[in-house]
Amino acid sequence: MTTNNETMKCPYCGHEFDAAAGTAFCGSCPVGKNCRLVRCPNCAYETPAESRLISTIRKLRRKP
């Protein structure tokens, strides 16, 4: 899923994209921008953003 904090690889089409770009389809969705899912700009497949807990653990392990 996540290669680093900024780029993600779509599990559906394999497209690599900036996590920041994953909101192209959100405009029409009633759940809006608060749903914490990241959408692939190529095919709109949704993946949950990495949880804060996990990314904190990851950072802690990287910088001992």
Partner 1 sequence: MSTCHNPSSEPAAAAGTLKVALVGSPNVGKSSVFHSLTGRRVVISNYPGTTVDVFRGRTSFNGHHVEVVDTPGMYSLHSITEEERVARAILLQEKPDVVLHVVDAKNLERMLPITYQLIEAGLPVILVLNMMDETQALGIDIDTDLLSIELGVPVQKTAANLGRGINELKQAVLNYQPVCLNLPVFYDNTIEQAVAALLPLVKNQPAVRKLSPRAIALLLLRDDTQILQLLTDDGADIKAIEKIISEVRASINQTPAYLLAVSQQRAAQQMVRKVMTQRADDKPPFREKLSRAMMHPLSGSLILAAVLMVMYFFVGVFGAGTLVGWLEEVVFGQYINPWLQDVLGNLIPVKIIADLFIGDYGVITLGLTYAIGIILPIVSTFFIIFSIIEDSGYLPRLAMLVDRLFKFIGLNGRAVIPIVLGLGCDTMATIVTRTQETKRERVITTLLLALAIPCSAQLGVIFGILSVSTGMILTWLGVVLLVFLLVGYLASRLISGERASFYMEIPPLRLPRLANVLTKTYARLEWYLMEVIPFFLLASVVLWAGDAVGLLDILINALKPVIEFVGIPAEAAVAFIIGFFRRDFGAAGLYDLATEGILFGNGLLVSAVVMTLFVPCIAQFMVMIKERGWKTALAIAGFIFPFAFLVGLVLDRTLKLLGVNL
What letter would DSSP give residue 49?
P
CB of 64 to partner 1, least distance (A): 18
Positive or negative CA dihedral for 31, 34, 35, 41? positive
Q: Of these, 2, 45, 46, 49, which contacts Zn ion (CB under 5 A)?
A: 45
Q: Does 15 bind Zn ion (CB under 5 A)?
A: yes
Q: Does 25 bind Zn ion (CB under 5 A)?
A: no
Query: Computed over its alpha carbons, how large is the radius of gyration of the chain?
Result: 13
Residue type, 24: A
| Residue ranges in contact with Zn ion by CB under 5 A | 10, 12-13, 15, 40, 42-43, 45
